[in-house]
Chains A and B, each alone.
Chain A
Amino acid sequence: MQQPNFTPTANLMLRETASQTAGPYVHIGLALAVAGLPERDEEIWNELAKDSASGERIEVVGRVIDGNGDLVRDALLEAWQADSRGHYQPAFDLKAPFNSFGRTATTAEGDSEWRFVTVKPGAIARPDGRTMAPHINLAIFARGVNIHLQTRLYFDDEGEANADCPVLGAIESPNRRQTLIARREDSEGGLPRYRLDIVLQGEGETVFFDF
């Protein structure tokens, strides 16, 4: 064994396994129904909140758009969010009224929208005493995306909380903050709906985070 103080810095810890694109057939593994495969008894999918979940049940929808303005029809998205009181629920359990985690996908057919059914998350207090506005963490995986893109979705009817959110405030360009704000829209009698397009590149490019 090497004397620790003579070990090259690079050997003090292991290297994280390198990322690779999820590729065009990610649905086989992580979204079986989208691939046309039979589903198992329990799948991780896009309904985070059942009718019985406490809080305001909503749907969150959007598209993924590439640098040419074309739809990305083979993306997989993962959501991670707090419950309506601002608490994360790590124990994933399909019998529970609410789960903090879910998956959705864009597809080859139609308007290629991703969609989550969830509750509007509560604001989250941080140890430094500041509060983060209600938000959903999103991860985007797709063919042509070598390492997943991490972003957040905020809500346009939380103007004051958004203005005070330390994470939105960390984005230097005020114009770019707008790329994370989902717009509430008329949902014709269905669940209240918020819409956010994720733009991978170019005009209106979504803010992606490193953390």
Chain B
Amino acid sequence: MTLRRRFVERDRQSHPPAYAPGYKTTVPRSPSQALVSLQTPSVSELSGPNFQKLRMGPHDNDLLLNFRDGTAPGLPVGERVIMFGRVIDQFGKPVPHTLVEMWQANAGGRYRHKKDSYLAPLDPNFGGVGRCLTDEDGWYHFRTIKPGPYPWPNGINTWRPAHIHVSVMGPAISTRLITQMYFEGDPLIPICPIVQTLNDKEAVGTMIGRLDMARSRPMDALAYRFDLVVRGELQTYFENQ
């Protein structure tokens, strides 16, 4: 297979560096050697999985309805929100039919993970995981509860801002990205050591979900818009020789 596609080079100044000592776990987990750059990426890097045949459940993108532990049937507690947006590439082109996955803590900042022992309680009606495919115009939607901030062992008194982890595949493994959506106006954002791994305020701006009153549902749910931008796809016009 000859792919005549390529992707805009990743601007690693716009991403966090591997070694960012304010976020302590990066210290032993960051490579000390330089990355080896592949000047001519091959089909191995320029292709990737397509999940249109992955069978989804009817509530996979609806965290208000997709988990019940059976002890207290009902809805999860917390601020009902619609999280939605578009996956586009750096040239503004929509990325249709791509897999968007998300996971998060509940309204009190507690994750339904056996390793999370924070004293805030679990919610019997909240699991915290969602997935969907973008539609033909690149749009995705989730319905969920706004997550709470939570403390973590980094500094003496470090708290994560409210955030939703977001994973997107895009057209190839070259565009694969995991990030976090933060909520507009949260005062914990500028003092978070994980956000601060980024050296660039504009780059931080790419991770902020914006309150969108137009798309909120009166008497029901607020909406936050979060567009994801993946690396721009180019066609190769000239081959060598």
A15 in contact with B14 given A28-B129, A30-B167, A91-B50 (CB within 8 Å) = yes
Asked whether, in the complex, the Cβ of A80 is within 8 Å of the Cβ of B178, the reply is no
Q: Which of A175-211 contact B (CB under 8 A)?
A: 176, 200-202, 205-211
Q: Does B5 contact A (CB under 8 A)?
A: no
| Contact partner, A37, options B2, B112, B195, Cβ 8 Å | B112
Main secondary structure of the interface of A (DSSP, over half): loop
A77 at the A/B interface (Cβ < 8 Å)? no
Is A26 an interface residue when CB atoms closer than 8 A count as contact? yes
Chain B 166-178, CB within 8 Å of chain A: the 1/0 string? 0100000110111
- Is B120 part of the contact surface with A, judged by Cβ < 8 Å? no
Known contacts: A17-B228, A18-B16. The answer to whether A200 contacts B28 by CB under 8 A is yes
Contacts of B119 on A, CB cut-off 8 Å? none
Partner of A41, one of B57, B90, B116, B197: B57
B interface SS class: loop
Are A108 and B14 in contact, with the CB atoms below 8 A? no
CB A147 to nearest CB in B, in angstroms, measures 5
A92 contact from B36, B49, B129, B229, Cβ within 8 A: B49
B158 within 8 A of A: no
Once the chains bind, are A210 and B129 in contact (CB under 8 Å)? Answer: no
A202→B31 CA distance, assembly (Å)? 7
Given known contacts A24-B115, A144-B29, is B42 in contact with A167 (CB within 8 Å)? yes
- Interface residues in B, total, Cβ within 8 A: 90
Please measure, in the bound complex, the distance between the C-alpha atom of A23 and the C-alpha atom of B180, giving whole angstroms: 10
Q: A13-B91, A80-B49 are in contact. Are A20 and B179 (CB under 8 A)?
A: yes
Beyond A27-B113, A29-B165, whether A15 also contacts B16 by CB under 8 A is no
B18 touches A16 (CB 8 A): no
Q: Which residues of A contact B101 (CB under 8 A)?
A: 29-30
Q: Which residue of B lies closest to A167 (CB)?
A: B38
A58 in the interface, Cβ–Cβ < 8 Å? no
Enumerate A37-63 residues with CB–CB distance to B below 8 Å: 37, 40-42, 44
Which of the 9-residue segments B19-27, B76-84, B212-220 touches chain A? Answer: B19-27
Question: Could you tell me if B174 and A25 are in contact, using CB atoms closer than 8 angstroms?
Answer: no
Rounded to whole Å, the gap between the CB of B186 and the closest CB of chain A is 15
Contact B176 A16 (CB under 8 A): no
Cβ–Cβ contact A18 & B204, under 8 A = yes
Given A17-B206, A18-B15, A209:B178 Cβ within 8 A: no
Cβ–Cβ contact B37 & A67, under 8 A:
no
Q: Can you list 7 contacts pairing A with B, beta carbon distance less than 8 Å?
A: A17-B230, A36-B114, A92-B50, A132-B44, A200-B30, A209-B37, A210-B35
